[in-house]
Amino acid sequence: MIPVLSKAVNETNIKVQYQMLNVLFDVAKTVAMRVNSERDLFSLVTRIIKSFLSADFSKSTLLSDLMHLISSILDNVEIVAGGICEVLHERFAQFTMIHLRLVLHMLCDHLRSHYAGVETNEVGSEIRERLFSALLSIICDPYTGQLVKTGESEVLNTHIVRAGYDTEGEFKWSEICEVTTLALEKELWLVDLLLKFPVLRVILHHLCRVLEFRGFVFTAGEMRVRQLKDAVIRLHYKFHGVLDVERTPWGVGRNDLLCENDSDVKRIMQIGEEKQKRNDIDLAKYLCPVLSRLINYYRDENICKIMVDSIPSVPAGCQQVWRRFTFYL
């Protein structure tokens, strides 16, 4: 079966390819997992699925073959992404570190490919939403350090424990932290001139929960966590219209924000006051809870300033932020 299905990525008939994918995911959801085996059936199936997310189109010699191949893969890549997220949740309790590392690396690697270009757009935005929702739903038990997958129900994995001096585990949040930071820096897909930002909204919503687990977060390393914090702060200045001064309080130059290729940011300056106010409220609603967690990590005056400035935007939602802020002062 595996030799036949391994050619699924090259199948130009979309319906046949779809059926092959269904078989692969059925196997991935039901096959037994061997402990610490890199060549069990689950790992082999996962590597076949990975080929859809990292296909090399350059091997096609004819333009017609190339276009057919690209079309067939793009039509099913969202199905692949959704299927992987389902497998991650349904099989999470049985994963060994090898299996989890394989799946997470596949998802993170695909997300990197989305941000490899100059800017992101609507194409692939739903895939990015689903992948970040899956990646950032992984947390840990605060007492045992065992990994937990949140969702409609919480799933505990007793085999995998976070790394740290107080545990004997080996899981590190580093790769997820890295790709999340990358998204905060490069995600520019905005619906209706910044009134909606679906991918960033998903990231901020889940990041708020993840940041409650300090020991888990710092398995990514001090440098990566600091880069994540900087990306969150930069996000505020990038999308809150601090564009009419030569230098923002965060130290980001006007030219940095209004670079030649940053067309979405340039459009901010053309938004009416009413739309900008609605955007401030929407962004503050998701950004404030993240900042209220980060203030427990760093006493950064930029975080304090953003929280104070955000309070008028969401009168009810940011009251908790204000209480945290005044406590740390």
Do 169 and 310 share a domain, yes or no?
Answer: yes
Q: Give the whole-angstrom CA distance, residue 291 versus residue 236.
A: 10
The SS3 call for residue 297 is coil
The pLDDT of residue 219 is 96
Residue 252 lies in a domain: no
The pLDDT of residue 209 is 95
The pLDDT of residue 88 is 94
**Owner of token pair 């389902």:** 86
The pLDDT of residue 228 is 95
Do 230 and 310 share a domain, yes or no?
Answer: yes
The pLDDT of residue 215 is 93
- Among 70, 94, 118, give the residue marking a domain's end: 94
% of the chain exceeding 70 in pLDDT: 67
pTM above 0.85, yes or no: no
Do 169 and 295 share a domain, yes or no?
Answer: yes
Do 82 and 151 share a domain, yes or no?
Answer: no
* DSSP tag of 190: -
Domain range for 62 is 1-94
Residue 249 lies in a domain: no
Contact yes or no for 41/31 (Cβ under 8 A): yes
Do 15 and 76 share a domain, yes or no?
Answer: yes
143/248: higher pLDDT: 143
The pLDDT of residue 320 is 52
274/9: higher pLDDT: 9
Residue 10 lies in a domain: yes
**Owner of token pair 């955000």:** 310
The pLDDT of residue 326 is 47
The pLDDT of residue 251 is 45
Do 17 and 60 share a domain, yes or no?
Answer: yes
- Return phi, psi of residue 171, to 5°: -75, 135
The pLDDT of residue 121 is 67
Q: Give the whole-angstrom CA distance, residue 26 versus residue 75.
A: 20
- Among 77, 94, 111, give the residue marking a domain's end: 94
Question: Mean pLDDT over residues 155-160, rounded?
Answer: 94
The pLDDT of residue 37 is 62
Q: Cα–Cα distances in Å, from 71 out to 54, 131, 157, 312?
A: 15, 21, 38, 48
Do 207 and 153 share a domain, yes or no?
Answer: yes
4/146: higher pLDDT: 146
Residue 315 lies in a domain: yes
Residue 115 lies in a domain: no
Q: Per residue in 185-223, pLDDT tens?
A: 888 766 444 446 889 999 999 999 999 999 999 999 999
Contact yes or no for 120/187 (Cβ under 8 A): yes
The top-scoring range by mean pLDDT among 22-31, 173-182, 230-239, 307-316 is 173-182
Question: Mean pLDDT over residues 73-101, rounded?
Answer: 86
Do 173 and 236 share a domain, yes or no?
Answer: yes
Do 89 and 133 share a domain, yes or no?
Answer: no
Do 284 and 138 share a domain, yes or no?
Answer: yes
Do 204 and 307 share a domain, yes or no?
Answer: yes
pLDDT band at 246 (very low <50, low <70, confident <90, very high): very low
Do 154 and 286 share a domain, yes or no?
Answer: yes
Residue 20 lies in a domain: yes
Total number of domains constituting the chain: 2
Q: Per residue in 267-309, pLDDT tens?
A: 555 544 444 445 555 677 888 889 889 988 888 888 888 877 7
Residue 260 lies in a domain: no
The pLDDT of residue 154 is 93
Beta-bridge partners for 155: 149
322/243: higher pLDDT: 322
225/261: higher pLDDT: 225
Residue 122 lies in a domain: no
